[in-house]
Amino acid sequence: MAVTDSKKIDGIAYDDNATTLILEIYDHLNFEGKFEFDHLAILQDKLNSYIWFINSKQYEKIYPNKIFGKFIINIHFLNTITDNCKKYIENANTKLSTFDIHIVMISD
Model pTM greater than 0.85?
A: yes
Rounded to the nearest angstrom, the gap between the alpha carbon of residue 47 and the centroid of all alpha carbons in its chain is 5
Q: Which of 28, 33, 43, 37 lies closest to 77, judged by CA?
A: 28
* Range list of β-strands (E), the chain: 11-14, 20-27, 70-77, 101-107
Three-state SS for 80? coil
Residues 13-53 have pLDDT tens digits of 998 787 999 999 999 998 888 889 999 999 999 999 999 99
Q: Which of 83, 73, 77 lies closest to 108, judged by CA?
A: 77
Residues 65-102 have pLDDT tens digits of 889 999 999 999 999 999 999 999 999 999 999 999 99
